[in-house]
Amino acid sequence: MQPQGGGFGLRGIEERVRALGGDWLLQRRLGTRVVVNLPTHVRNYDSVSLPTELNQKPS
């Protein structure tokens, strides 16, 4: 076992996500669910040539 605070827990995940300009959602209901959204940058592609799921903005 690692000492408390020595691992890569949820706080560490949150810090890394925010450092990359993303956001996250932590839900605790009948277990734990973590949803992470990270920005991506696509270069040299016309939006028409992208698959539909990549061409849509998150809601």
Nearest one of 6, 26, 5, 3 to 14, comparing CA atoms = 26
Give me the pLDDT at residue 37, please.
92
**pTM reported for the whole predicted model:** 0.52
Closest CA to 35 of 27, 44, 25: 25
Distance from C-alpha of 27 to C-alpha of 30, rounded to nearest angstrom: 9
Residues in the chain, pLDDT under 70: 1-7, 42-59
